[in-house]
Amino acid sequence: MINLAHVLRTHGPAFEADLEQHFSRDLADLYTGELTVRKAGVLLTGLPRGSNTWIRMGGPGAITAETEGLWLVEHAVKLTVWDGKGKPPQMRDYPEEWGKADKKTQHAVSQAEKWRARAKARREGN
């Protein structure tokens, strides 16, 4: 079950844009009583694949069915040309939640900066 409060807290602007784009509803209606929490949750789960909210949440909903179909074709072609040596080609992973990908990138950048600093210190020391 998707937690509406979590989505509003972490992906609120995307959900607001999707409500307007796909259902012609304003998120402010949730606070005026014109849109119930239950109905907002139903609309959230009814968002189409590839919508702004799903893109930011990651997972299978982050891509459209068309994109997934292309990924399947790509995987089939890779399997067809695979020579049987080594690991077989793997399907693409679904996109991660935006914040998680950012944290991984930040970690990789900080590790690279530390490595550069150590390498520079070694060069200057020699």
Residue 112 has a pLDDT of 86
pLDDT in tens, the chain (126 residues): 578 999 999 999 999 999 999 999 999 999 899 999 999 999 999 999 999 999 999 999 999 999 999 999 999 999 999 999 999 999 999 998 877 766 777 777 788 888 898 988 888 876
Residue 123 has a pLDDT of 87
Residue 60's contacts (CB-CB under 8 Å, 6 or more residues apart) are: 49, 68, 94
Q: Which of 92, 19, 104, 24 is nearest to 62 (CA)?
A: 92
